[in-house]
Structure 1
Amino acid sequence: MSDLDLLYTDVEDDLRASVRDLLADHCDPTAVTAVYDGDRSLVDGLWKALAVDLGLAGLLVPEERGGAGASAREAAVVLEELGRTVAPVPFLTSAVVATTVLLDAEGDLLASLAAGERTAALAAPLSTAPDGALQLVRVDADGRLTGTVTSVAGALEADVLLVPAATGEGVAVYAVNAAEAGVAPVLSLDMTRQLADVTLDGVAGELVVADGAAAVRRALEAGAALLASEQLGVAQWCLTTTIGYLKERRQFGRAVGGFQALKHRLADLFTEVESAAAAARYAAATLAAGYEDAAVAAAVTQAYCSDVAVKAAEEAVQLHGGIGMTWEHPAHLYLKRAKADQIAFGTPGAHRAHLAGLVDLPAATRTLAQQGAR
């Protein structure tokens, strides 16, 4: 794998600058905090700016199908910046996961997602791991779907739901008009990616992917691999902001950041965040290149980055002292996103157990990994 370059390209740097500038103008922390009070006015305008004005909705869609023809590397850069601002937009759920499901589908749905005309969400619990059991609904001979799927991310923003259903031949994915489904918001720890329960009661669906199991697994794996870049963005913001605060905060006549105990904590955290950057970048690069060990890279990076993001957010809250515990300071936004992301697409323990099988660890060791997952 000597040809796998993990350095950011000039194109990726330019993309990062464009996304960062847009978020600086449109994603103020006070507006993000307002989402927790039920004010979601930020969401639609910010998503339109990202999806349509910057064209990010079609980042992973091939050019011949109306998209930008970019790769997971570019999507990872976008997610890093979205993580830095805990932006309440459905990029991960629509432009990554739902789009990946539809890559082999016929019809114009993928093109409409790429153009930002519609937004989609995969009707699966956010906690579903790439190798986990799927929550399937029933489909009758007329293509009508019945069943309930809980804790779906992106459903509130979606125009179209991609619903995995059990058929006589296996699993197929149907497209359902979200307005015809029962979408009930769920009070979520991270309200910037609020979950919803989806109920279908004889709702008409359009078959979009016949080999649904493979498409859904591929999408979940892409979601897990690229979620690490969002977690990296969260961790980097927490580390940078905490360092900046400790340089300014003075106590006993000196900057708090000069105390040796705090230096050690920050040094340890810096090392972990840098390691997370390498892991997230490798997962995105292997996914973009189509390497055979992309599944291994996704499992490794999720097992590691999930915990690093949580630790970075916890340190940010603690080391900011009293102000870090308040609603006015944005640190709580990052802690909630990090904790919610920790179980998205499988817990770290579940990924370690999956990794054990992928790399053919002996049965005894694999059992220990599975016990750790529980």
Structure 2
Amino acid sequence: MRLVLDKEQQELRSTVRKLLADHARVREVLDSGEGIDRPLWKRLAGELGLAGLVVPENLGGAGAGHVERAIVAEELGRSLAQVPFFASAVLAVDAASALGDEETLPRLASGELIGTVAVAGGWGPLDVRASERDGGWVLDGKAPFVIAGDVADVVYVYNGQWFVVTGGFERKVLRTLDPTRPVARLEFSATPARKLDGDPIARVRDLAAVALAAEQLGGMGKVLETTTEYAKVRVQFGRAIGSYQAVKHALADIYSSCERAESLVRLAAWTADEDRDSLPLVAATTQSFIGPAYFQAASGGVQLHGGIGYTWEHDAHLYYKRAKTSEILFSGAAARLERQLGLEPA
């Protein structure tokens, strides 16, 4: 078991971090209303090939692993870059891989297509009706909260069975807590669909939990970094606020959470690559800890920034909002962990 990044993995992290620093446009993209940073996504997916990190080389991917994908997700979580990496390079790629959709997978891996997955809350089946018509399938119903649904070219729809749609549906962008992760409602009305065999919902969910945990870890690290720097320069009553014991203890708590979260993320990513049978337990354990931990760290970051932390101009509230919405995405992780341990959910 290797939980320490090797030289190549560290170089990957440095490359992605530098690229994101050179293209820091969070506020600009928010103000534009575009939803995603398309030039940045083109560089990440097309030029660097990061959309297909876990896709085999014979299908147009990089043939890397979930450890490498977690590194990229972590850096995206640090920067809050508005690219559809989680929706397309994680959810859609994993669904296409697990379902054997080799027709679409290479185009997702290259970044030519943006994909996403539509499931109900708690990763259950949607209330979407599938009917056979003219030798094919059509869908009717609604998918209420779809990440990157506003820009997705391909949507994998789960209603107890799996279907893929590439058009013929309406989208409505929703105003949600987190403006950096667009969500849309999709409405299907006799929408042509292609039925796929298999039901890998648990596998897709567990791999998504690993990638999201890496993203959350990146956000926690950024909160710790910016809050620590602020505590060094903000002076109150003639002293830097970082010299006060209460502030030191609060920062120490965030640091401790970050260290534990990093250990869990490294283990989860390794498990996704090397020990498939153990992934459900490790994924549930990771999300049960890191979801609440990130939100607690982001809350502390806002408070320790004082009045400036509550302003729109400061980024503290963006991490706070991302932390809460990410925690809700896997709100059933604690119950899944209890089931994995043979316990009854509370």
Shift of 1:30: 2.8
Is the 1:27–1:46 contact (alpha carbons within 8 Å) kept by the matching residues of 2? no
Q: How far is 1:263 from its partner?
A: 0.8
Deviation string 1:59-96 (CA, Å, 9 cap, x unpaired) is 11111111001111011000110000111111111111
Does the alignment pair 1:196 with 2:190? Answer: no
1:137 counterpart residue number: 128
Contact map agreement 2:310 2:317 (CA 8 A) in 1: yes
- Which one of the candidate residues 92, 98, 113 is aligned to 2:86? 92
In 2, are the aligned partners of 1:80 and 1:230 still within 8 Å (CA)?
yes
Give matches, 1:175-186, under 5 Å.
175-178=164-167, 180-186=168-174
Structure 1 partner of 2:304: 319
In the alignment, the residues of structure 2 paired with residue 109 and residue 124 of structure 1 have an alpha-carbon distance, to the nearest angstrom, of 19
Q: Secondary structure at the match of 2:212?
A: helix
Q: Aligned match of 1:54 in 48, 51, 74? A: 48
In structure 2, what is the Cα distance between the partners aligned to 1:197 and 1:217? 23
Choose which of 301, 320, 339 in structure 2 pairs with 1:357. 339
**Which whole-Å CA distance do the structure 2 matches of 1:134 and 1:280 have between them?**
28
Map of 1:329 onto structure 2: 314
Aligned counterparts of 1:79 and 1:115: Cα–Cα separation in 2: 17
Query: How many Å separate the matches in 2 of 1:42 and 1:147?
Result: 26
- Which string of whole-angstrom CA distances, capped at 9 and with x for unpartnered residues, describes residues 7-32 of structure 1? 0111211111111111011123432x
Contact in 2 for aligned 1:226/1:283 (Cα 8 Å): no
Residue correspondence of structure 1 range 2-13 to structure 2 within 5 A:
4-13=1-10
Displacement of 1:322 after TM fit? 1.4
1:210 aligns with 2:197: yes
1:23 aligns with 20
Contact 1:279 1:301 (8 Å CA) reproduced: yes
Contact 1:136–1:164 at 8 Å: present in 2 too?
A: no
Query: How far does residue 116 in structure 1 lie from its aligned partner after superposition?
Result: 1.1
Kindly tell me the number of residue pairs found equivalent between the two proteins. Answer: 342
Deviation at 1:291, TM superposition (A): 3.5
Match of 1:343 in 2: 328
Deviation (angstroms), 1:157: 2.0
Aligned residue among 298, 310, 314 for 2:283: 298
The correspondence of residues 102-141 of structure 1 with structure 2, limited to 5 A, is 102-103=96-97, 104-125=99-120, 127-129=121-123, 133-141=124-132
Matches within 5 A, 1:207-286: 207=195, 209-211=196-198, 213-214=199-200, 216-286=201-271
CA distance in 1, matches of 2:14, 2:321: 26
Deviation at 1:38? 5.2
Instruction: Please state how far the C-alpha of 1:136 moved relative to its aligned partner.
Output: 4.4
Per-residue CA deviation, residues 273-315 of structure 1 (Å, 9 max, x unaligned), is 1111111111111111134211111001101001111111111
Structure 2 residues not aligned, in runs of 5+: none
The structural deviation recorded for 1:99 is: 0.6
SS at structure 1 position matched to 2:156: strand
**Aligned residue identity for 2:52:** G
Q: Which amino acid aligns with 2:251?
A: L
2:59–2:102 contact (8 Å) kept in structure 1: no
Letter in 1 for 2:271: T
TM-score, normalised on structure 1?
A: 0.88
Distance 1:343 1:106 in 2: 29
* Matched-pair contact (CA < 8 Å) for 1:67–1:111: yes
Q: Once the 2 structures are TM-superposed, how far is the Cα of residue 41 of structure 1 from its aligned partner?
A: 6.8
Question: Which residue is equivalent to 2:71?
Answer: 77
Q: Identity over the aligned pairs, expressed in percent?
A: 38
Whole-angstrom CA distance in 2 between matches of 1:176 and 1:106? 12
CA RMSD of aligned residues (A): 1.5
* Structure 1 unaligned residues grouped into runs of 5+: none
